[in-house]
Amino acid sequence: MIGPEKNALTPHEVEIDIEVVSAPLEAIAAALGPGGIAGARSAGRWAGLVEEARRLFRRHAAPRGLLAEISTDQFAALYQGDGHNAPETPLGEIFPRAAHLALFAATIGAGVHRALDELFAGHEFPLAILLDAAASEGADRAGEAVARHYREQLEARRIEAGESPGGRDAGVRDAGVRDTVVRDAGVRDAVARGGPGTPVPLACLRYSPGYCGWNISGQRALFAALKPERIGITLRPSMLMEPLKSVSGVVVGGRPEIHRFADRYPFCADCRTHGCRERIRKVLESGSGGRA
């Protein structure tokens, strides 16, 4: 199968386990800015607070995800959005080369926000900041869980159809390909050598409105197509999603190389993190790399 399916846009909810979106201590600590917790004078008192924040997160978070496949043509129209994208964007070049596209939205729900408001009102600032960090991280992990689910679906579908992963060498039966690129050096070598019967790696990466030249107003078209309201996410006129700890975008699946781009677009000059570099590195290595 080459190119995203024609019979696209049948959204389905993705189950997300709370443990999958519960960030580890280091990830929460990192959100506290330079120095994190380790650098702080009061470092010794924070391990307990982080544990408490993680406990509160598990109690109040209700992760939900939504996924809908979309064809290249449908996505091309959707990507136009309100016409405010940068003239040239990485995603604009990447999606036409994709083998699979799926719109997604994910949230960790409104419960955490109520807990946060209470903590701030009670002047429990340390816990409030930690819970907020856990929730931000959780929303991102929920997005990642949906992307991972899509990749697993694609891999399973190919095994069923007797195709090798990546779609290029259709018809080549290859059991055990669910994790082609991941950690399997033998497979990676085989991919590098190429040749018939080679398992073709499938790499899925998220791209979101508001990043890398995809104007945030693109949320309008995305919401019209995906309808994340069905998992409790609404869009405000300002393009902000409610609950706040939510993410949206498109999962792009294909050969890892399609995700490679140079950060030389005009808007890259304003980017403070250039996090795309790390994501591209990861996707080339392991087939998933977070959001761009």
Partner 1 sequence: MSILEQISAELQRGEEERVGELTRQAIAEGLAPQQILDQGLIGGMNVIGEQFRDHEIFLPDVLLAARAMYAGMDELRPLLIKEGIPTSGKVVIGTVQGDLHDIGKNLVGIMLRGAGFEVIDLGKDVTPDRFVTAAEESGAQVIGMSALLTTTMPVMKQVIGLLEEKGLKGKVRTVIGGAPLSEDFARQIGADAYAFDGANAIDRVKALVG
* Residues in touch with partner 1 (CB under 8 A): 32-37, 39-43, 45-46, 120, 123-126, 128-129, 132, 210, 216-217, 236-240, 242, 244
Euclidean distance between CA atoms 142 and 72, whole angstroms: 25
Token couple for 272: 């403070």
Q: Which does 45 bind (CB under 5 to 8 A by kind): ligand B1M, partner 1, none?
A: partner 1
Binding mask 159-198 for ligand B1M (x = CB under 6 A): ----------------------------------------
In this structure, what token pair is assigned to residue 120? 């701030």
Output the smallest distance, CB 175 to partner 1, in A: 47
> Given the structure tokens 């604009």, which residue do they identify?
92
Minimum Å gap between C-beta 189 and ligand B1M is 36
**Binding of ligand B1M at residue 72 (CB under 6 A)?**
no
**Closest distance of CB 272 from partner 1, Å:** 8
> Which residues lie below 8 Å from residue 134, measured CB to CB, with a gap of 6+?
22, 23, 28, 53, 54, 56, 57
Sign of CA dihedral 66, 155, 291, 210: negative
The smaller minimum CB distance to ligand B1M, of residues 44 and 83, is found at 83
End-to-end CA distance of the chain: 26
Which residues ranging from 221 to 260 are in contact with ligand B1M (CB under 6 A)? 240-241, 244-249
Collapsing DSSP states into helix, strand and coil, what is residue 125? helix
Stretch that binds ligand B1M, among 43-51, 88-96, 207-215, 281-289 (CB under 6 A): 207-215
**Residue 237 interface partner, choices partner 1, ligand B1M, none, CB cut-off 5-8 Å depending on type:** partner 1
- Among 190, 216, 268, 284, which residue interacts with ligand B1M (rule: CB under 6 A)? 216
The footprint of ligand B1M on this chain (CB under 6 A) covers a number of residues equal to: 17
Q: Given the complex with partner 1, which of 126 and 290 has the nearer CB atom?
A: 126
Q: Helix H segments across the chain?
A: 18-21, 25-30, 46-60, 72-80, 90-94, 111-121, 125-161, 185-193, 218-226, 276-286
Please identify, using beta-carbon distances, which residue of 135 and 187 lies nearer to ligand B1M: 135
Specify the residue for token string 């706040």: 244
**From ligand B1M, partner 1, none, which one binds at residue 41 (CB under 5 to 8 Å depending on kind)?**
partner 1
Residue given tokens 């391990």 in the structure block: 47
41 Cβ contact partners less than 8 Å away, ≥ 6 residues apart: none
Angle between helices 125-161 and 111-121 (to 10 degrees): 170
What CA–CA distance (Å, rounded) separates 151 from 247? 18
Phi, psi of 260 (to 5 degrees): -80, 130
For ligand B1M, give the closer residue by CB, 164 or 248: 248
Please enumerate in sequence order all residues whose Cβ is within 8 A of that of 116, keeping only pairs 6 or more positions apart, or say none: 128, 131, 132, 135
With CA atoms as reference, report the closest residue to 82 among 219, 271, 242, 277: 219
CB of 60 to partner 1, least distance (A): 16
We find the least distance from the C-beta atom of residue 124 to partner 1, in angstroms, to be: 7
211 counts as binding ligand B1M under rule CB under 6 A: yes
If binding is defined by CB under 6 A, does position 126 make contact with ligand B1M?
no
Give the nearer residue to partner 1 in terms of CB position, either 101 or 130. 130
Binding residues for ligand B1M, per CB under 6 A?
136, 139-140, 208-211, 216, 240-241, 244-249, 272
